[in-house]
Chains A and B, each alone.
Chain A
Amino acid sequence: RKEVEQDPGPFNVPEGATVAFNCTYSNSASQSFFWYRQDCRKEPKLLMSVYSSGNEDGRFTAQLNRASQYISLLIRDSKLSDSATYLCAVNRGSSASKIIFGSGTRLSIRP
């Protein structure tokens, strides 16, 4: 089993829809969680950190479920510009080096 797993997609949804995807992790000692966005042939860019209590940034909501060991990303009122690959990143401990990235979930928003 991979340490961090994501459904590769693609998720193909109409503009304006709400879409959500999860990222599961295997190490129960993980402390830090992030969502990154990566456009085609570009570098990953931080979308948001994921806090224990959940957090929201505009149309984006991130949640952490420690019991089931997954994080989620919800996008409301999706825009064409949201089309990208979304990578989750999970740390295994307090060391900066132990950050594992998922392979990404591809999202495509259609007009």
Chain B
Amino acid sequence: DVKVTQSSRYLVKRTGEKVFLECVQDMDHENMFWYRQDPGLGLRLIYFSYDVKMKEKGDIPEGYSVSREKKERFSLILESASTNQTSMYLCASMTGTHSNQPQHFGDGTRLSIL
């Protein structure tokens, strides 16, 4: 079974803090993704990575950056957290280069910015 592990289930941070969300997958997947999920808006792609040190912007990259130094780990960074970044953050991984493979999600991190 694919295992995608996110470092925290719940996180509370203050406005202006630098926040790191970590994600690790154990299936040697090439592709990894960061989404946020908000009521009524569904899942929105922030960034994704198709290989080590490779990244591409998703639909809502503003205010975020990512790091992929090792194949199994994909980090999401909020450079200076703001209250509108309070959300559920979901990491996913996927094998291969073709989209006919499904994505596998981590448990999610519920982030609150005060």
A residues in contact (CB < 8 Å) with B: 8, 31-32, 34, 41-46, 49, 87, 89, 91, 93-99, 101-104
Give the residue of B56, B97, B99 whose beta carbon is less than 8 angstroms from that of A32. Answer: B99
Do A103 and B105 touch (CB < 8 A)?
no
Given A43-B106, A97-B48, A97-B56, verify A87-B99 contact (CB < 8 Å): no
> In angstroms, how far is the closest chain B Cβ from the Cβ of A44?
5
Residues of chain B within 8 A of A91, CB atoms compared = 99-100
Interface residues of B in 12-61 (CB under 8 A from A): 31, 33, 35, 40-43, 45, 48, 50, 56, 58
Q: Which residue of A lies closest to B47 (CB)?
A: A97
B45/A46 in contact, CB under 8 A: no
A31 and B104 CA atoms in complex are apart in Å by: 19
In the complex, A49→B16 CA distance in Å? Answer: 41
- Which residue in chain A gives the minimum CB-CB distance to B102? A46
Q: Are B99 and A102 in contact (CB under 8 A)?
A: no
> Which residues of B sit under 8 angstroms from A98, Cβ to Cβ?
99
Given contacts A42-B108, A97-B50, contact A103 B40 (CB under 8 A): yes
Chain A contacts for B90, CB-based, 8 A: 43-44
- Which of A95, A97, A101 is B43 in contact with, Cβ under 8 Å? A101
> For A94, what are the chain B residues with a Cβ–Cβ distance below 8 Å?
98-99
In whole angstroms, how far apart are the Cα atoms of A32 and B100 in the complex? 5
Listed by A's residue number, 18 A-B pairs whose Cβ atoms lie within 8 Å are A32-B99, A32-B100, A43-B105, A44-B90, A87-B42, A91-B99, A91-B100, A93-B99, A94-B98, A95-B99, A96-B50, A96-B97, A97-B45, A97-B58, A99-B99, A99-B103, A103-B40, A104-B42
Please provide the 6 A-B residue pairs with the shortest distance between their CB atoms, ordered closest to farther. Answer: A103-B42, A91-B99, A43-B105, A101-B43, A46-B102, A32-B100
Closest approach, in angstroms, between the C-beta of B50 and any C-beta of chain A?
7
Query: A42–B107 contact, CB under 8 A?
Result: yes
Do B40 and A96 touch (CB < 8 A)?
Answer: no
Contact B94 A96 (CB under 8 A): yes
Say whether B98 contacts A96, CB under 8 Å.
Answer: yes
